[in-house]
């Protein structure tokens, strides 16, 4: 009976969505078999509508999954490009990026530390010169004599 109903529904595919029959089926059917066929056609129409809705849902789901996969692929490509650019950069540029202050408070902190390092080195240098002035004098004389000796040696090679 269901096979027959399916064949009838396949031949009369113009059944309304709400279960109403079309003009071809509106003839007066009085016997029980015609009513049963009409009921089967209505169920079949509902089944067709449900199947259509299910396929629409599956297509929409596949579309969104495809869009998500495309976004993920683009994201991975961008991350790979960023990674390659980061590898291409030199060490000094990376160090410059590291030392670049992100905001004005970090810049103030960098300046504060830099100024205090300068004052500390200056005070240590003056302390060293005051307590070890003879040693400092010997180092200065050594470098002067070394420079004179190198200049004399270079002039001798030219002749």
Nearest partner of 22 among 48, 41, 4, judged by Cα: 41
Q: What would you measure as the largest C-alpha separation in the chain, in angstroms?
A: 133
Residue 5 has a pLDDT of 47
Residue 102, pLDDT score: 84
Q: What pLDDT was estimated at residue 111? A: 93
Q: Quick one: pLDDT at residue 97?
A: 72
Q: What is the pLDDT of residue 157?
A: 74
Task: Pick out the chain residues at pLDDT < 50.
Answer: 1-29
Residue 37 is predicted with a pLDDT of 67
Domain ranges of the chain: 2-66, 108-158
pLDDT of residue 94: 66
Q: Is the pTM of this model over 0.75?
A: no
Condensed to tens digits (0 to 9), the pLDDT of residues 126-159 reads 998 899 989 989 999 999 999 999 998 888 776 6
- At residue 125, the pLDDT reads 92
| Residues 43-49: contacts with CB under 8 Å, at least 24 apart | 43/5, 44/5, 44/6, 44/9, 44/15, 45/9, 45/15, 45/16, 45/17, 45/19, 46/19, 48/9, 48/13, 48/15, 49/17
What CA–CA distance (Å, rounded) separates 138 from 144? 10
Distance CA 137, CA 20 (A): 113
């Amino acid at each position: 009976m269901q096979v027959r109903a399916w064949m009838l529904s396949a031949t009369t595919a113009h059944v309304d969505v709400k279960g109403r029959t079309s003009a071809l089926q509106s003839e007066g059917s009085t016997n029980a078999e015609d009513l049963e066929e009409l009921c089967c056609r209505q169920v079949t129409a509902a089944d067709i509508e449900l199947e259509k809705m299910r396929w629409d849902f599956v297509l929409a789901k596949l579309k969104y999954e495809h869009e998500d996969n495309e976004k993920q692929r683009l994201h991975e490509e961008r991350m790979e490009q960023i990674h390659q650019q980061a590898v291409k950069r030199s060490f000094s540029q990376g160090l410059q990026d590291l030392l670049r202050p992100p905001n004005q408070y970090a810049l103030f902190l960098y300046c504060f530390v830099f100024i205090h390092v300068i004052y500390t080195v200056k005070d240590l240098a003056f302390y060293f010169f005051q307590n070890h002035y003879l040693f400092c004098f010997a180092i200065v004389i050594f470098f002067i004599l070394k420079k004179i000796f190198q200049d004399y040696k270079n002039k001798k090679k030219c002749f």
